[in-house]
Amino acid sequence: MQTIVFIMPSFSLAVDGSNGGAIEQLMCNLIEVNEQQKCFNFVFITPASVLQSYKQTQIYKIRPRNFMDELKRIFYFPLKKLKIVKSYTTSYYSKAFKVTKQLKPDKIVIEGNYPNNIKAFSDYFGKENLYLHVHHQILDKTDISKYFGTLISVSKFIEQDWKNSNKISSKLNYETLFNCLSNDTFFNKISNSEKIELRKKLGFNNDDFVLLYVGRLIKEKGIDILINAINRIENPKIKLLIVGESVFKNSKQTPFTKNLQTLCSDIPDRVIFTGFIPNTELHKYYRIADVHIVPSVYEEAAGLVAQEGKVVGLRQIITNSGGLKEYASKNAVVVDRKNLEDNLVKSINFLYTHRTDVNTDNEPPYTKEYYYQTFKNIMEK
């Protein structure tokens, strides 16, 4: 049985997904299915604790930073500008390397961006045993084929983005591991009375046309542009439900989230913010909506929320962003990010007047079992 070490980013949350986080939830899915199928021994090196124990998974918690890290960070950029130093290694990744050496794993999966001491990993374990799992578009690419044998991407868009870079060697192996649904509750339906009750609780009437946004409240997600579009739509029955916080669970208000509240000042009864909603309850909010909107303005690596809306059967409006189309319904309305506000207004009004058009996409969803099996196939090659 192979032992796989996962090295989480130094800023990551608990890998049991208890505090949110897309990468963390994906890792939780792997852990849960592996507990049942027992194909691997998993080891997670992470800065965050988990509350439960597992039979097939060990958790090594490492403090994300110390006093020396802060000093290094302060002096790094001036010294780099003077070309005295090129990089520095944080205590988190130094300790991660020491722990991994003691564990003697068969393979190592680096989650997110590569650590600043990746050469040490590659020299000791061999690059053929190192996998970089890329969850977002990395603009400042280097030739990682010197250190990794395989790049695992979350969409064909990300894979092609790396292949198109003239800095990247063709010696690198590529695998695509599509993100999966975080739980099976998205397949659950709720009764009409539950829909009416939840709508009422949130301040919506039965005849309101509810648009749904789910995700982080950051500028890159285009949520401010979506609110501006709602402001321009005069129909009082068209309303917006916003589910999420600035980062993760219990996030503090940011200047951007405060600005979102200001944008809604003229239509306070037409835009509802829920804050963080647990994954186990999230499907209910999809079920009470009429249209699901993903208005990302940057290259979305893999819009898992699009997969959620697709499974529930919602009509969708998405932007032509990165790998988003790979996760959304084939029947989704795809809008250009150029003149996005205008395009959203037109698409929302169109779907309001064409209510009989529903999502009839029957393509199977990306389940936890699918995710685990694909990962298993990659590790066994």
All structural domains of the chain, each given as residue ranges with its CATH number in brackets, are 2-180+368-379 (3.40.50.2000), 184-353 (3.40.50.2000)
pLDDT given at position 330? 86
Say which amino acid occupies 174.
Y
Nearest partner of 306 among 256, 361, 346, 251, judged by Cα: 361
Cα separation, 197 vs 376, whole angstroms = 43
pLDDT given at position 82? 53
- What backbone phi and psi angles, to 5 degrees, belong to 184? -85, -5
Cα separation, 112 vs 198, whole angstroms = 37
Q: Are the C-beta atoms of 371 and 177 separated by less than 8 Å? A: yes
| 3-state class (DSSP) for residue 5 | strand
Question: Beta strands of 260-329 (E only): which ranges?
Answer: 271-275, 291-294, 315-319
- What backbone phi and psi angles, to 5 degrees, belong to 150? -140, 140
Burial (Cβ within 10 Å: 0-12, 13-18, ≥19) of residue 356: exposed
Nearest partner of 307 among 187, 196, 164, judged by Cα: 187
| 3-state class (DSSP) for residue 119 | helix
Q: Which residues pair with 333 in a beta bridge?
A: 317
Cα separation, 208 vs 197, whole angstroms = 14
The answer to whether the predicted template modeling score (pTM) of the entire model surpasses 0.85 is no
pLDDT given at position 260? 92
- Cα dihedral 226→228→231→232 (10° resolution): -100
pLDDT given at position 28? 93
How many Å is the Cα radius of gyration of the chain?
22
Question: Beta strands of 251-380 (E only): which ranges?
Answer: 271-275, 291-294, 315-319, 333-335
The tens place of each residue's pLDDT in the chain, 381 residues long, gives 999 999 999 888 899 877 777 889 899 999 999 999 999 999 999 998 888 889 999 999 998 766 555 555 555 455 555 565 556 578 899 999 999 999 999 999 999 888 888 999 999 999 999 999 999 888 777 788 889 999 999 999 999 998 887 666 667 899 999 999 877 788 888 999 999 999 999 999 999 999 999 998 999 999 999 999 999 999 999 999 999 887 655 567 889 988 999 999 999 999 999 998 888 899 999 999 999 999 999 998 887 889 899 988 899 999 999 999 999 988 899 999 999 999 999 999 999 998 766 666 667 778 899 999 999 999 998
pLDDT given at position 86? 58
Assign residue 88 a region: left if phi > 0, alpha if psi is -120 to 50, beta otherwise?
A: beta
- What the block records as the tokens of 348 is 């929302």
Cα separation, 147 vs 114, whole angstroms = 10
> What is the per-residue DSSP string for 321-346?
-TTGGGTS-TT-EEE-STTHHHHHHH
Burial (Cβ within 10 Å: 0-12, 13-18, ≥19) of residue 95: middle
Residue 37: HSE in the Cβ half-sphere, 13 Å Cα cutoff: 16
pLDDT given at position 16? 87
Cα separation, 300 vs 58, whole angstroms = 32
**H or E element at residue 309:** helix 304-312
Q: How far is CA 277 from CA 68, 313, 342, in A?
A: 37, 20, 30
